[in-house]
Structure 1
């Protein structure tokens, strides 16, 4: 099979699609639509005539069924935006062909070195064609690898109508990285029964479990007085906020001290003045009771600190973000089982994993579209050290092609 995934990926990552967590618009940045328009054009040129971008920046397209069997409509989903953690402007992808196994020094900043020691997964990819950024930006493999893989698989399926499969819906989303990726998806228009996000990491990984996630905002109201006449009167909201953050445990319940199935409380933003300050947190764990336990603990810290500052008041606002998709997927075991079979047919051993994070599939699962997550090869996400193996991407394309056939065979 001749693949186009590498060339597509190199093309897509050079389009800046960084989303903005502070924006109130949807999508959060208009530039995400630049990639969406290109994808629509390429899909239409490939023969998928109904490809379109809607007013929210979503790309919808259909690969028609090639079988007379009644097969559930399957959705293939990937997100177009890149994270705000690291610049996505002027990405210069570099292909390290037949990589020699040595540490990769990135040319635009020689202090940026992708070392085998720090990236043990990379050590197994000697001889592969490894793509990195140049050292000044992230690469954008998260999730343009998934976009490129779906696009290549779509091209191949359209060109090979002898491959039997049911109707396939393609969905490319903006704003996944800011937690709003499926906020405006038209589920009726999408018209799929089951789905798969292509947004996983290492070769063979299949993720059927995510964190459950809430956002918490603590808002502190202080008392502002001219500092020259403030004795016994001024109550600084900034200092109260700082004390709350300082009271968080140092050795547990933080991203930097947890792993596997351990959850955390993570302050991600603090802003304000003497009179009023706000702290934004993300709260994560695999079960809702554990999530709520972390929130109870954080509220207790807030109450204790505020009581030490007479005149200060505080509010505690919880916003549900997403829930562990395993709650839904366990009711539809065939969705994961068929993906495992497809990965095996691609010549890869499936690796069942849990995500210490979320995907569009987390929310889609609770919107009526059970949706596990399949590997793309993207690694070292959200950083200048992001990298991907072309051969891993090609295996992901193979997996998609086998997946739609498995659904047809077993329907």
Structure 2
């Protein structure tokens, strides 16, 4: 097929004529649209189940929707049911999530239904993880399976890149995020050929995924923070200190990651480990409040809408509790991503900094803390900078964010990552 030669040329790094790049557009657009629809379907289903679990059911039982008792019962039950589901589905819903990243090698297609099912359970049950890792894994598996079936001459790396870009574009509502993630991935796998030739297909897939999601669900990361109207030397110092504090909070979770994973593995039975993890998540929810549950995107907008609604101590508790919840959820066996809860941790920490020193602008504090937290958790520089920037949608903050990246990155680079090898040792 014509698209096979285009894909092969792009993957090999050889110069790719414009005609061959054009042949990538149709498969790229198709993959991007399907990736967005998978994300949208899982998100909508999870929302429906969440309404039943956290509104319909407690109302029918005359129990407070977010009472401490209900949070503990619901999270424990979510751990038990998710663990039993993982045990029953083909392929056990994929490998140990503590050993996987955002973009990994393709799973077998038969694993995908079970992976999506347990993702819905986690999202609906209040687990502090986002959809990004399992949805990306599912879309990569489906794209690679379809590529082998309909274009067997094309290298699998092309379909992996298209699916990853389509999913990231849909998650963030813009292909820019996809291009940034893939540029870092490609930079770690150097080869001949222009970078933009290699990004051409993924950028088309990311655009298709972003447009599909934007037209159907209108996602937005903008927290509607107060405008950043001025800058001075004090703000530069504040940006560096707050970003570094965010990185320290993230690194605390990173260093605890292998120990928490080892503790849950010591229970020897995945169902028992996930039930225990669910119980701990419920207890943390009771401590930090219901805003520390779920993936955190909707909840973080509640915090940002009222920066004066909580004290510095309350914001600090929420940041620490959410970080602990992310740590437990990611090590006990729940399937999910770490970007969205990390954003919540950073925003809560930034609001804490603003509450402590009200002279620090809210937008500056929130974006810099989120930047530092994301750098520690994801180790993706461009993605962290982009995510922090879109939280405020204010270009005046970009120079400060770029400068704040430097001390935070110096702190996290070379440190262990929030991902483990199969033997339980951390990646570096």
TM-score in terms of structure 1 length: 0.23
Q: Which has the higher helix share?
A: 2
Greater strand share, structure number: 1
Normalised by the length of structure 2, the TM-score is 0.22
